[in-house]
A and B are shown apart, each in its own frame.
Chain A
Amino acid sequence: MIKQLVPGQTTAREVVEKLGGPNEVVQLGRRTAYRYDSSTSKSALFSLLLVTFANQDTRQDRLWVFFDEDNNLTHFGATYGSHRTQYAMPWEDVHEASDNESRDASRAGVGK
């Protein structure tokens, strides 16, 4: 759907018809911007009597679309991170590039 967005051609109405209502509408002077996002969290908990080890990893897919004062699309930018969330222990680095690459490869439209 996002690949169908064409700056200079797509209108705000068409964006809403394709993607639904945005999470937030921001006024930027005479321009406007819509934010779409979706979050995913994965939590892991390991308890040993008086000590608990916990990890919570939260990431987002985000899309911002920017319109001029005539509600025509001028720019858009997307970030895909929700598929990268991990179950882990608190001493583990959940932002390692190798982990991200393997998860990107398994998500359609994101991996190379």
Chain B
Amino acid sequence: MRGSLCCLLALLSVSCVTGEFAQRTVNEPVDLQLLRQLQVGKDDLGTCLAMLGAPVDAREYDVAADGTSGLALVWFWSRQVGWGLRASWSITREASASFEFDWAGTNMPGCVLWFDHDLKLTNYREGLVGELLPKRTRPSAAASTQ
């Protein structure tokens, strides 16, 4: 016990360990009232872009044999607030190392809109992006060359 305390005091004396209360925000949430006004089968790519603005990502899905495909538009945003630890200490006179630990989660809220081959809205959902995103349908360039 006394040894642990000595180690802790030694660590604190040569380093800077602080608690951190931090907020990190990325992008703005889509207006969910606007999102819920979308009409499946009636709205199309043009009206959705006019209502919601530009998405963060766009992906193809449901690729047909003739090369045509549907389209998925993705919006996501992030607001992480929480306590964490920040530590840094000197290794030499010229260099230092730092360590940061955050409690915040990793998945981000968002929404996905799906359009058919004629760019009519076929579905939309809100939730965690990792659960909503369609799988990529084409292999990556690196994979396709192997």
A residues contacting B by CB (< 8 A) are 7, 26-31, 33, 35, 47, 49-60, 62-64, 66, 74-79, 81, 84, 88-92, 94-95, 100
Contacts and interface: CB of A to CB of B under 8 A. Distances in A.
Contacts, number: 112
Interface of B: 17-29, 45-46, 49-50, 52-56, 58-60, 63-64, 67-71, 79, 81, 86, 117, 119, 138
21 contacts: A7-B46, A27-B138, A28-B59, A29-B63, A29-B64, A29-B70, A30-B69, A49-B18, A50-B17, A50-B19, A52-B20, A53-B22, A56-B23, A56-B24, A56-B25, A62-B56, A64-B54, A64-B55, A64-B58, A76-B49, A77-B50
B25 A95 contact: yes
A108 to B, nearest CB: 18
A15 B143 CA distance: 31
Given A28-B58, A28-B60, A94-B25, A51 B18 contact: yes
B105 to A, nearest CB: 16
B60 A78 contact: no
B53 A77 contact: yes
A58 B111 CA distance: 19
Contact of B20 (A51, A64, A100): A51
B54 to A, nearest CB: 4
A102 B117 CA distance: 40
B56 A28 contact: no
Contact of A58 (B17, B25, B50, B69): B25
B86 A58 contact: no
Contacts of B69: 28-31
A60 to B, nearest CB: 6
Contact of A53 (B17, B21, B29, B117): B21
Given A54-B20, A90-B21, A59 B68 contact: no
B49 A75 contact: yes
B69 to A, nearest CB: 3
B46 to A, nearest CB: 5
A58 B46 contact: no
Contact of A66 (B17, B18, B45): B45
Nearest to A47: B18
B97 to A, nearest CB: 17
Contacts of B18: 47, 49-52
